[in-house]
Every structure is written in structure tokens, then in C-alpha cells.
A and B are shown apart, each in its own frame.
Chain A
Amino acid sequence: DAGVTQSPTHLIKTRGQHVTLRCSPISGHKSVSWYQQVLGQGPQFIFQYYEKEERGRGNFPDRFSARQFPNYSSELNVNALLLGDSALYLCASSLAWEGETQYFGPGTRLLVL
């Protein structure tokens, strides 16, 4: 079975631009969570979506938004990019809303210049 996939793998943007990152969960998984991993730190929770509804939000500004589609894939959108948004963005999927192991994708590395 394919694992969690993410696209693109790398992205370079300039300050003020907008970016969309995509994630396809493991087949059968209905929950997708997004994390930001800044170099040298552990991943930080951004959002969780389950059955197309937002079920959790971390301490990130409103410039960050996400959605989940009927096929359970998900997009993370970031508006008005700042230099500090440069990071590895990870997507994780799990079977249920909670109480499950999360499986992580390879991430999208975003560089904001």
C-alpha cells in the first residue's frame, strides 16, 4: 500500500506570495493532520481534519488555512508568506479522529525568500 504522499517536494516562494500544499492520506484513512517543522525543532501541530471538518487547530495565524476533500485528500494554504514560514510541512494520516497512530508523509520543504 502507498504511504502518505505530499506534493510538491520542494517549493521556493517570495514574501507576500501564497502557497498551496497537497496531501493524499493512506487509503482508508479519514483523518489528516498538518504539522510545521522548523529546522532543528520538533513538528508543531497546525490543523487536523476528519471527515472534511476541522477538528483541531494549533497556534498559527489566520494566514494558515486548510481543507479536506471528499476523497480525504487535503490542502494546506498559507497566505502572505513571511520569511519565518520557511519550514518542512508534514502531513500525517490516521484511521480515526483520535486515539490512533499517525503516519507521516515525506513533507514539502518551503523556502520563503
Chain B
Amino acid sequence: AQSVSQHNHHVILSEAASLELGCNYSYGGTVNLFWYVQYPGQHLQLLLKYFSGDPLVKGIKGFEAEFIKSKFSFNLRKPSVQWSDTAEYFCAVMRVNYGQNFVFGPGTRLSVLP
């Protein structure tokens, strides 16, 4: 069965530190990839997405992600985190031609210390 793994369960950083959250998936076909963020008490919001083209995609709030097809990875990065980035981050994979069935990773909780 297809699965999505996220490398870290909980990441703690100080403000201005750089961030990289890992995401790997197991499906071998064509996929669309997403990162969603869930701020405390709020609903899931789209950070960025990859459908095709340039494997380095930029999203909102200074986030970017790189799709490496050979490694089945879609890692999320931000050069300098802020306290307001404290949230839960979810990687999601959608298999092309399988409908809107998103497979989510278990999530990574990011805590940014002021």
C-alpha cells in the first residue's frame, strides 16, 4: 500500500534557524505533492504544491520544497523560521488518475522558540 513518511515527529528550533522537514512516499507512479500546515486551532492550509515542471517550488510565507523523483522525496525548507511558524506540518501525495484521494504523512510538529 502507498505510504507517506515524515522523518521527524517533533522539531524544536530557535527563531532565525533554518528548517528542513523530510517527506518520502512509496508510490512509483506519477504523483502530485503537497505540503499543508495546521496552525494551533486552525484548519489545514495549503503551503505549496508540485504538479510538474521545476522541481523546486515556492510557497507562501517563505517556504519552498524540492521534489527529487529518484529519491521519492519532497522536503520542505525555510531559511529562517519565525515564532509564528509554530504549527503541525503535513506532507500529502495524490496519485495521478486516482481521484482526489490524498495520502497524508503522520505530520511533524514544529515548535519555534522566541
Point out residues on A near B: beta carbons under 8 Å.
31, 33, 35, 40-45, 48, 50, 55-56, 58, 90, 92, 94, 97-107
For the A-B complex with A42-B106, A94-B100 known, give 19 more contacts whose Cβ atoms are closer than 8 Å: A33-B102, A41-B106, A41-B107, A42-B4, A42-B107, A43-B90, A43-B104, A44-B104, A48-B99, A48-B101, A50-B99, A55-B100, A56-B101, A92-B102, A98-B100, A99-B32, A99-B51, A101-B49, A104-B44
Contact between A56 and B43, CB atoms less than 8 A apart: no
CA gap between A94 and B100 in the complex, in Å = 8
Which of B4, B42, B90, B96 contacts A98 (CB under 8 A)?
Answer: B96
With known contacts A42-B106, A43-B90, A99-B51, A56–B44 Cβ distance under 8 A: no
B residues with a Cβ closer than 8 A to A are 4, 32, 34, 36, 42-46, 49, 51, 90, 92, 94, 96-107
